[in-house]
């Protein structure tokens, strides 16, 4: 039994290791789609929609028939005594103590109340339905924010991995250079200083590799956390970092109404206006209908078994009118508050439009700047590559120094990293531009 238990534990650990070491291939589209299913903000936004829908049902229930049943059993162990005039029993001028009723009785009834007319109810129902739309817009806003975050995190992982690859390539080149320099030193064509200088460069590269490797792992965890899955999951990104971006967006017509922020404010304003109408119709009368029917059975003293033998019915229906006359200025204060909310929302919308136009201009400028920077870094990378190739030839021919070689390699590596970072910044600027135009 002990060996069987040990085997089960070993197999369980092995299965867990295999599960953890599985590599998840993720395209950018897959990452976005997965985030829509697993990201906490989106999940909560979807729950908010369901919550709002249940609120609609709650408000609607006030306008549906309210049906209640009741039943009770009573034992009047001491029947109340009433004093009646003796005239009823032929004894004028006297009073007689009499008891009316029986000790036992059972009552059963059902009652129905129905709202016939109430202006606040119908506007309240309309307002709760519009609140569902606000929840749906908020969900769309959450999806836009999550899509933006996933795209940026995805590109961040890509750029971190490519920077790591560049450093690894530089490290391998430096290792070959060190091997060649050591051979040249043994043959008397290089100095110990050349070997040491290249060794120092390797040591610095090793430090940078460790740092960039840790950064790469952190960017992967950030992406996984943004998606909403285990941050220890091994992943492989299959969508490359775009080397070019679509520029037709710059010539498209900008409509601020496409921005989710404006849609939310417009929907909120509609809610405010419905509130104002709801409080105004509160001065109108309300009409209610009611109906009830019940039945009772009785049992005399020491005749408990008579209960249920005979039932005596009773029923009624009626209509009630409620006319508000004075509420201590409650509705007036609510109307004034609703008017203030409408004005505040108007101000907020105007400010939002100014902010959106500012954001759009900033995004355009940042995009143009990122595009120019990429072009400059592309030329710098080509220039650094030419310098590296020339310096490498000179060093191998014995007419160049190790210092020049190390410097050229560092500059070429840095130029490639700068180019990749500029490409990353261009893609980020394009995402910001899409969001500013309201088409992300």
Q: What is the residue whose two structure tokens read 């990293």? A: 417
What does the pLDDT read at residue 222? 93
Please state, in angstroms and rounded to a whole number, the distance separating the CA atoms of residues 294 and 307.
Answer: 15
Element (H, E) at 110: strand 104-117
Please state, in angstroms and as integers, the Cα–Cα distance from residue 5 to each residue in 130, 158, 299, 301, following that order.
60, 44, 72, 75
Give me the residues paired with residue 293 across strands: 110, 315
DSSP reduced 3-state for 85:
strand
Please state, in angstroms and as integers, the Cα–Cα distance from residue 409 to each residue in 30, 220, 323, 379, following that order.
38, 28, 89, 17
What does the pLDDT read at residue 166? 87
Ranges of the chain with pLDDT below 70: 1-21
Spatial contact of 126 and 55, defined as CB atoms under 8 Å apart: no
Torsion of CA 295, 300, 305, 307, to 10 degrees: 0
What does the pLDDT read at residue 17? 43
Which residues in 405-433 are b (16+ Cβ under 10 Å) and which e? bbbbbbbbbebbbbbbbbbbbbbbbbbbb
Please state, in angstroms and rounded to a whole number, the distance separating the CA atoms of residues 243 and 424.
Answer: 9
| Torsion sign (Cα): 21, 26, 31, 34 | negative
Beta carbons within 10 angstroms of residue 296's beta carbon: 16
Please report the DSSP string for 295-341 in residue order. Answer: EEEEE-TT-GGGTTTS-EEEEEEEEEEE-----TTHHHHHHHHHHHH
Question: Any alpha helices (H) in 22-39, and if so which ranges?
Answer: 28-38
Domain boundaries, the chain: 23-30+145-284+332-437
Please state, in angstroms and rounded to a whole number, the distance separating the CA atoms of residues 72 and 107.
Answer: 5
DSSP reduced 3-state for 113:
strand
Does domain 23-30+145-284+332-437 fall under CATH 1.20.1600.10? My reply is yes
Residue-wise pLDDT for 57-71, tens only, equals 888 888 888 999 999
What does the pLDDT read at residue 21? 55
Indicate the DSSP class of residue 100.
Answer: -
Beta carbons within 10 angstroms of residue 255's beta carbon: 11
Q: Which residues contact 201 (CB under 8 A, 6 or more apart)?
A: 174, 406, 409, 410
Please state, in angstroms and rounded to a whole number, the distance separating the CA atoms of residues 202 and 183.
Answer: 17
């Amino acid at each position: 039994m002990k060996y069987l238990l040990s085997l089960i534990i070993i197999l369980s650990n092995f299965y867990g290791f295999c599960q953890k070491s599985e590599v998840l291939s993720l395209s950018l589209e897959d990452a976005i789609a997965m985030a829509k299913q697993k990201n906490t903000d989106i999940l909560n936004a979807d729950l908010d929609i369901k919550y709002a829908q249940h609120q609609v049902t709650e408000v609607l229930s006030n306008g549906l028939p309210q049906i209640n049943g009741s039943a009770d059993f009573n034992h009047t162990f001491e029947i109340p005594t009433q004093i009646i005039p003796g005239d009823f029993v032929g004894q004028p001028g006297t009073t007689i103590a009499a008891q009316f009723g029986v000790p036992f009785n059972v009552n059963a009834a059902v009652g129905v109340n129905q709202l016939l007319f109430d202006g606040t109810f119908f506007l309240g129902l309309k307002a709760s339905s519009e609140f569902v739309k606000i929840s749906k817009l908020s969900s769309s806003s959450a999806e836009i924010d999550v899509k933006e975050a996933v795209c940026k995190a995805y590109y961040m992982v890509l750029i971190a991995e490519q920077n790591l690859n560049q450093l690894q390539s530089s490290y391998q080149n430096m290792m070959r250079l060190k091997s060649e320099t050591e051979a040249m030193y043994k043959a008397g064509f290089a100095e110990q200083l050349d070997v040491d200088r290249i060794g120092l460069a390797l040591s610095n590269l090793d430090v940078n590799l460790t740092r960039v490797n840790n950064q790469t792992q952190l960017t992967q965890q950030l992406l996984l956390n943004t998606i909403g899955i285990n941050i220890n999951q091994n992943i492989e990104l299959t969508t490359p970092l775009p080397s070019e971006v679509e520029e037709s967006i710059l010539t498209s017509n900008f409509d601020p109404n496409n921005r989710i922020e404006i849609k939310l404010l417009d929907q909120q304003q509609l809610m405010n206006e419905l509130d104002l109408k709801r409080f105004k119709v509160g001065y109108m009368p309300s009409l209610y209908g009611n109906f009830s029917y019940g039945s009772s059975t009785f049992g005399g003293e020491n005749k408990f078994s008579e209960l249920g033998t005979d039932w005596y019915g009773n029923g009624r229906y009626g209509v009630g009118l409620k006319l508000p006359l004075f509420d201590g200025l409650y509705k007036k204060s609510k109307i004034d508050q609703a008017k203030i909310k409408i004005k505040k929302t108007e101000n907020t919308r105007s400010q939002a439009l100014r902010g959106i136009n500012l954001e759009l201009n900033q995004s355009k400028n940042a995009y143009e700047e990122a595009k120019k920077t990429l072009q400059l870094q592309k030329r710098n990378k080509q220039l650094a590559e030419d310098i590296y190739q020339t310096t490498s030839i000179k060093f191998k021919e014995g007419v160049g120094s190790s210092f020049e070689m190390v410097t050229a390699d560092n500059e070429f590596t840095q130029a490639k990293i700068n180019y990749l970072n500029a490409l990353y910044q261009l893609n980020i600027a394009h995402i910001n531009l899409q969001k500013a135009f309201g088409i992300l």
